[in-house]
C-alpha cells in the first residue's frame, strides 16, 4: 500500500472507532474538567504527547493546568483533577500516580481502551476510545488496523480537540478569546 492509501485507511479506522465513543462518558469527563480547581495531566510515550497538547488547549481556555513532573507543577489539593491518558490503563508509573492522587482526595479521569483496567477502577470518569493496545498481538489480516496503539493515540488527540470544541461552546469561548492566553514568549 502507498502513503495515500494508508492515510485513507487510517482515517477510516479512526472514523469507525470514533463512532463507538459514548457521549455520556465524554459528558462526565467534561463536567469533571469544569469542576476542577486545578488540572494535572499525565501520560507516557505517545499518549503523553497527546495529553500535553490537551493541557495546552485547556490552558488556552483559562483552566489552571500543569503536566505532572514539570518543575513548575504545584502541590495537589482536594478538588483538583488528574487526567491520565493510557491505552492499557496499566502503565506502572501511571498506576502509582493514580493511586497517590486517589489517596490524596484528587479526582482521577482516564482516557483509555480498557474500561476494567487498574487505573479505570480508581477513576471517577473514564472515557473509552476503541483501539488496539501495543500489547495486543492479534491483528486481523483481513482488515486494516494500525500497529502498537497508534489508532488509540490518534483518536485521543482528536477526542481531546473535540472536548475543547465542546468546552468552547459551553464557555462562550472563541479562537480570538483563547488566543489572548496563547504564549507570547516562544
Catalytic residues: 153
| Count of beta carbons in the 10 Å neighbourhood of residue 162 | 14
| Count of beta carbons in the 10 Å neighbourhood of residue 32 | 18
CA distance linking residue 29 with residue 114, whole number of Å:
16
- Chain centroid to Cα 95, Å, comes to 15
**What contacts 155, CB < 8 A, 6 or more positions away?**
14, 17, 18, 129, 130, 131
CA torsion sign, 36 to 129 to 84 to 156? negative
Three-point CA angle 36, 49, 13, nearest 5°: 100
DSSP 3-state of 39 = strand
Amino acid at each position: 500500500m502507498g502513503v495515500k492509501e494508508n492515510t485513507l485507511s487510517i482515517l477510516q479506522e479512526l472514523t469507525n472507532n470514533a463512532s463507538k465513543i459514548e457521549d455520556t462518558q465524554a459528558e462526565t469527563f467534561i463536567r469533571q474538567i469544569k469542576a476542577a480547581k486545578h488540572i494535572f495531566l499525565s501520560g507516557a510515550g505517545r499518549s503523553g504527547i497527546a495529553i500535553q497538547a490537551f493541557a495546552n488547549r485547556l490552558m488556552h481556555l483559562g483552566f489552571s493546568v500543569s503536566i505532572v513532573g514539570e518543575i513548575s507543577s504545584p502541590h495537589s489539593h482536594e478538588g483538583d483533577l488528574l487526567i491520565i491518558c493510557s491505552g492499557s490503563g496499566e502503565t506502572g508509573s501511571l498506576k502509582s500516580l493514580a493511586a497517590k492522587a486517589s489517596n490524596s482526595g484528587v479526582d482521577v479521569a482516564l482516557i483509555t481502551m480498557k474500561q476494567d483496567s487498574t487505573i479505570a477502577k480508581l477513576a471517577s470518569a473514564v472515557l473509552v476510545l476503541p483501539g488496539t493496545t501495543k500489547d495486543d498481538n492479534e491483528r486481523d489480516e483481513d482488515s486494516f488496523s494500525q500497529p502498537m496503539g497508534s489508532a488509540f493515540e490518534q483518536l485521543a488527540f482528536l477526542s481531546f480537540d473535540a472536548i475543547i470544541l465542546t468546552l468552547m461552546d459551553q464557555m462562550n469561548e472563541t479562537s480570538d478569546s483563547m488566543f489572548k492566553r496563547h504564549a507570547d514568549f516562544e
